Amino acid sequence: MDMKKFLVSAAVLFFVSGQGFAKDAWVNNLRTNFLNHASTIYAVNLRTFNAQDTDKSGIIDFDEGEESGTFLNAIARLDELQANSITAIHLLPITPVGKTKALGTAGSLYSAAGFNSLNPQLKSDKTILTIEEQAKKFINEAHDRGIAVIVDLPACGSYDFYLQRPELFVKDKSGQPVIPADWTDVRLLNSGTETVINRDVFNVYREFVDYMMDLGVDGIRADVAHSKPAKFWKELIDYSRQRDPQLLWLAESSNSWKDAISEYAVYTPYDKLLEAGFDGYYGSYFNMKNWKNAKDLMNQVELDCNLENKFSEPKSVIGSFTTHDELSPILVNGSKYSKMIMWLNATLPVNAYYLDGFDTGDKYVYFWANKKAPKTYTDDDLYFVHRGKIDIFNFSAKPGGTDLDMQNDFRRANEFKKYVNSLYSSGRIKQLKSNNPHIFAYTVSGNKNTVIVIGNINFRSTEQGVVRIPKYSKDFDIVPIALESVPISENGKMKVDMMAGEIQVFQISDFEIK
């Protein structure tokens, strides 16, 4: 064969093959999915997400060739998230961390030493790519798997950042930078008031937004959003939407939070933040560990459902049952609590939200916690951690437990959420009457199909009760999705005898509750 013709043929074949396997260009639709309660979000600390702890000591020892989490080695776990039906990943702060007056041997993720660069701790030295190129590669790989990327915007600055730019910070009566709450490693940024916002701080945040959007991110989660004026956020959100109308804005704020983080800080309630342009907030679902009656859960659900009527634009919420600020559910109420969280996230009109390690039952208990470290990268020589909460202060091992049953339930619940969301597209949630205050019950009906959810919020003892279901027939064919005990079906009701913390989920075809 003529070599010239061969090369031309090969080139054509390569071109056609390349077109055939070309991936669709990523189009950000995160905001739309979120407002339709269709997102399943997985929060990660990239510094530990795929850390390589080869000697299983729990701490990354760089002198022994171990590697902490980076943008590049994180890519290896994206297939796992895709298989678990994760649709968005929430990156805890990826900004540089402070090393002076620090907490932990690596520094807290939320002690931002700047807002216009990336944390060098997340850079791999195994490539010539710059850290920005590595970050873009990670984001592109997530997009290739249908996973959107949300980044965290820290609320405060580190002491190092204060020393560099003291004009950005609030000063107390003695002229010293303000320490908000009990967060001794950060200082309070001066964002201004509803009358006059601080343009210097605003410009720092605007630069962060531009930087993140240039990297290709799809959303921003604002840490302690209520510590800044609504006017500040409105201008920033409006600015970002000029570049990308689909950029999601999630406020870390809740209807149950009422106080400012400092006497020197402003306080903006969650509804004012939503009016300013945030798409969603944290429902008070993290309080479920303290709720004694089913009405506490259903009252929160009702409040969130009414958001669609309260504001001129759609709003939604995350199922914030467990976050990096919360104890591991296993420590609170055992694996039953985790299972209930999964199925509530799957069936309620919320965006499901989980933390790295939740799906395998990690207790986030570190045997080296708060002990003196042989080596540190900050001015703190203790392995500072919050017991029972994911480590955000040190170069620690990859999160994860060993509960394979929980992992299977996690995958099933996330997949089932897709089906439930199709019901919400034409229907809605309806609370069912129960004669037991500890037993909650609701249906999601639409498209001539219904999902029934019944749960015992008492994690200490068994509860019996009767749940009324309008027009329900004992002859219906019901498909059990999740249950441990079997209810007794009667016309118009179900009798249940539920174990502590049990949740039951059923699906019924050709039956709809208006």
pLDDT in tens, 102-153: 999 999 999 999 999 999 999 999 999 999 999 999 999 999 999 999 999 9
**What is the DSSP secondary structure assignment for residue 293, as one 8-state letter?**
S
| pLDDT score recorded for residue 513 | 86
Terminal Cα distance for the chain, rounded:
72
The set of residues, in sequence order, having a beta carbon less than 8 Å from that of 11 and lying 6+ positions away, is none
**What is the DSSP secondary structure assignment for residue 286, as one 8-state letter?**
G
- Tell me the sheet residues that pair with 186: 158
CB 487 within 8 A of CB 495: yes
Q: At what angle do helices 329-347 and 404-424 cross, to 10 degrees?
A: 30
CB 227 within 8 A of CB 198: no
The set of residues, in sequence order, having a beta carbon less than 8 Å from that of 14 and lying 6+ positions away, is none
| pLDDT score recorded for residue 308 | 78
CB 393 within 8 A of CB 103: yes
- Tell me the sheet residues that pair with 192: 197
10 Å CB burial of residue 273 (0-12, 13-18, 19+) is: buried
- Strand-strand pairing, 219-222 and 248-251: parallel
The one-letter amino acid at 500? A
- DSSP per residue, 385-416: --TTS---SS-BPPP----HHHHHHHHHHHHH
Q: Longest C-alpha distance within the chain, in Å? A: 87
In whole angstroms, what is the distance from residue 228 CA to residue 112 CA?
16
| pLDDT score recorded for residue 14 | 38
CA–CA distances in Å: residue 505 to residues 42, 133, 417, 473, 479: 23, 45, 12, 17, 9
CB 122 within 8 A of CB 182: no
pLDDT in tens, 178-192: 999 989 999 999 999
| pLDDT score recorded for residue 8 | 40
| pLDDT score recorded for residue 425 | 86
Tell me the domains of the chain and their CATH numbers: 30-424 (3.20.20.80), 428-509 (2.60.40.1180)
- Tell me the sheet residues that pair with 505: 453, 482
pTM for the full predicted model = 0.94
Closest CA to 26 of 132, 138, 144, 149: 144
In whole angstroms, what is the distance from residue 91 CA to residue 48 CA?
11
Tokens of 298: 């259903």
Which run of H or E residues covers position 248?
strand 248-251
- DSSP per residue, 176-224: PBP--TT-TTEE-B--B-SSSB-HHHHHHHHHHHHHHHHHT--EEEETT
pLDDT under 70 in the chain at which residues?
A: 1-23
Residue 86 region, left (φ>0) first, then alpha (ψ -120 to 50), else beta? beta
SS (H, E, C) 27-53: CCCHHHHHHCCCCEEEEECHHHHCCEC
In whole angstroms, what is the distance from residue 252 CA to residue 231 CA?
17
In whole angstroms, what is the distance from residue 374 CA to residue 381 CA?
8
In whole angstroms, what is the distance from residue 512 CA to residue 355 CA?
34
The set of residues, in sequence order, having a beta carbon less than 8 Å from that of 161 and lying 6+ positions away, is 98, 112, 113, 114, 168, 187
- Strand-strand pairing, 148-153 and 157-158: unpaired
